[in-house]
Amino acid sequence: MYVRFSLNADLLTSGDIPGEAAAAIEQAVQEANETSFRRGVPKEAQPDDIGRITGWSVEGNALRLSIASGPYTRAHDALFRFRKSIASVLGRHRIGVRGIEVTGFTIRLEGSVEPAAIPRLPMIQETAFDENGVLLSLTLNAADLENKVPDRLVRLIEEKAEAMAYGGKAEHWELIYESPRQPPRFDRDPTEEMVKKGWIKHGAARGQWIYGPQAVQLFRAFETIVLEEIIRPLGFSEMVFPKLVPWEVWKRSGHAKGVYPEIYYVCTPKTRDPAYWEDVADYFKVTGEVPVEMIRDRIDGPIGGMCYAQCPPFWPFVQGETLATDCLPIHVFDRSGTSHRYESGGIHGIERVDEFHRIEVLWLGTAEQTVDTADRLHAAYTRVFDDLLELEWRCARVTPWFMAQEGLVGVSENEQIGTRDYEAVLPYSGGWLEFQNVSVNGNKYPKGFNVKIQSGADCWSGCSGIGLERWTAAFLAQKGFDMADWPDRVAELVGEPKEIFRFL
């Protein structure tokens, strides 16, 4: 995409700029155009592609600038670079630069531009399309320029164009392992069977189950297998990650780019003062109904949401730190609470729920260490699924979860970065259930949370989410409820179902 930036801005000074400064200003402008703006620009760049002050004038305490650029030393970057150099020139006249007022900013785009999306984008005041492209007039201030708003805007428009071009293509899916076939022992929906047996009941909220002792015996048996066969042999240490996730975390993890449709949002009371809430309580006491609209007016936020992906809230533990080379790779896991996703409506089995339980495995280190851990996890999982659970399953390279959760499709350009989904066949439907995954996330999180390695090597990370509901759904769908059909180790760990409730 062809891109050009053009801006008008006033550098506001602490006093009127004297006429005798004109020559020095002109000299600074020429120096900027010929030297400073060319720093860091590739040799093959055309002169027109590079930022250039195209005009200047003085009016009282304002130095008025017009700057234009293509993709290199973009007009706004040129502005800030010039402010630095002109500050020392004006300093000689005992005048300081006090602020910047942006009086005009346009972006010219040519090439594959998706017209439909542009007018709704923030900061855009006017759009003018012609046969070659579009001219965007923006309303923004100096803080927006420092915050790289024009660059983000261009990148977003490019992304939308790519998504259009990609549109309709299916998610990436590429088989990398297929297990031996297993004799099917059961052909019904295991959730219905668990409900019939009284092992689980619907919770009061949507997509939520209450698990009785018998179901939890399965969860804990699988957890024991994960701990004994995977987590301990590979040397993972348990941590406790937070479960309320504020925007601050999702801004850095990238989830703020696209996860909004599926979040359970969290809001806080405007105050803890009981007097402020007394009439809400009174309303309930008198009517027996909770006054949702009254509450809505009395809460702030949303401040973020309930845990969605389990690993992002770990990262503030290492945020801004440099890790000693010899403590790497770091291997940790968390199993301290629930994850919540606003899934599409309707009745689901335990394999597709709004509230679920997951053991999240997380590791970081150099690229090599990170890839190696992922491979060793894959080998351990393969042994567990083939030999211990005797599942019929397969493994596929798919669109990385962190891309999917930002609304992107395709796969990473780097072959080593990506997600492997583990899928088990469900004999009752013939479909396949993704019951866990392993991802190498490259430097995405270390970069987002500013984590470095002492040696200077790029820091990478990986994660693997082990869904207890999904292991249970896959296992019961294939093996059924007759424990005589179960692999010995599983039967032994689960034990006889505890039937402690008896309803009339």
Catalytic residue numbers, as ranges? 311, 341, 343, 352, 360, 421, 434, 437, 463, 470
Within residues 50-109, the interface with a copy of itself by CB under 8 A covers none
Among 137, 182, 322, 450, binds a copy of itself (CB under 8 A): 322
| Helices 22-34 and 75-91: angle between axes, nearest 10 degrees | 140
Angstrom distance (rounded) from CA 442 to CA 110: 32
**Is residue 24 part of the contact set for a copy of itself (CB under 8 A)?**
no
- 363 sits near a copy of itself (criterion: CB under 8 A): no
Minimum CB–partner distance for residue 114 and a copy of itself (Å)? 12
Map the footprint of a copy of itself across residues 395-454, applying CB under 8 A: 407, 454
Shortest Å, Cβ 383 to a copy of itself: 25
Select from 279, 305, 272, 306 the least CA-distant residue to 293.
279
Q: Does 500 participate in binding a copy of itself (rule CB under 8 A)?
A: yes
- Smallest gap from residue 498 Cβ to a copy of itself (A): 5
Please report, as a single letter, which amino acid is at residue 425. V
Query: Contact with a copy of itself (CB under 8 A): which of 104, 265, 368, 429?
Result: 265
40 part of the interface to a copy of itself, by CB under 8 A: no
Check binding of 286 to a copy of itself (CB under 8 A).
yes
Q: Which stretch binds a copy of itself (CB under 8 A): 103-111, 128-136, 297-305, 431-439?
A: 297-305
Our finding on whether 321 is near a copy of itself (CB under 8 A) is yes
Tell me if 231 contacts a copy of itself by CB under 8 A: no
Q: Does 22 bind a copy of itself (CB under 8 A)?
A: no
- H/E element, 468: helix 468-479
Least CB distance to a copy of itself at residue 316 (A): 5
Question: Burial code of 319-328, b = ≥16 C-beta within 10 A, e = fewer?
Answer: beeebeeeeb
Residue 331 near a copy of itself by CB under 8 A: yes
* Contact with a copy of itself (CB under 8 A) among 56, 209, 308, 435: 209
Task: Judge residue 386's burial from the number of C-beta atoms within 10 Å of its C-beta, 0-12 exposed, 13-18 middle, 19 or more buried.
Answer: middle
Q: Of 194, 231, 263, 396, which lies in the binding site for a copy of itself, with binding defined by CB under 8 A? A: 263
Compute the distance between CA of residue 111 and CA of residue 121 in angstroms, rounded to an integer: 18
CA atoms within 13 A on the CB side of 486: 20
From candidates 51, 313, 349, 418, binder to a copy of itself by CB under 8 A: 313
Site size with a copy of itself, rule: CB under 8 A: 119
The CB-of-284 to a copy of itself minimum distance in angstroms stands at 5
Task: Pick from 85, 112, 336, 382 the residue near a copy of itself by CB under 8 A.
Answer: 336
Q: Which helix (H) or strand (E) holds 10?
A: strand 2-13
| Shortest Å distance, C-beta 14 to a copy of itself | 30
Binding mask 130-169 for a copy of itself (x = CB under 8 A): --------------x--xxx--xx-xx--x----------
Based on its alpha-carbon atoms, the radius of gyration of the chain, rounded to whole angstroms, reads 29
The CA–CA distances, whole Å, from 16 to 59, 79, 80, 295 equal 8, 20, 21, 55
The label of the residue with tokens 């031996």 reads 180
Q: How many CB atoms lie within 10 A of CB 500?
A: 8
Q: What is the 3-state secondary structure (H, E, C) of 142-192?
A: HHHHHCCHHHHHHHHHHHHHHHHHHCCCCCCEEEEEECCCCCCCCCCCHHH
CA distance 146 to 238: 41
Among the listed ranges 16-24, 76-84, 176-184, 494-502, the one in contact with a copy of itself (CB under 8 A) is: 494-502
Q: DSSP class of residue 199?
A: S
With binding defined as CB under 8 A, does residue 201 bind a copy of itself? yes
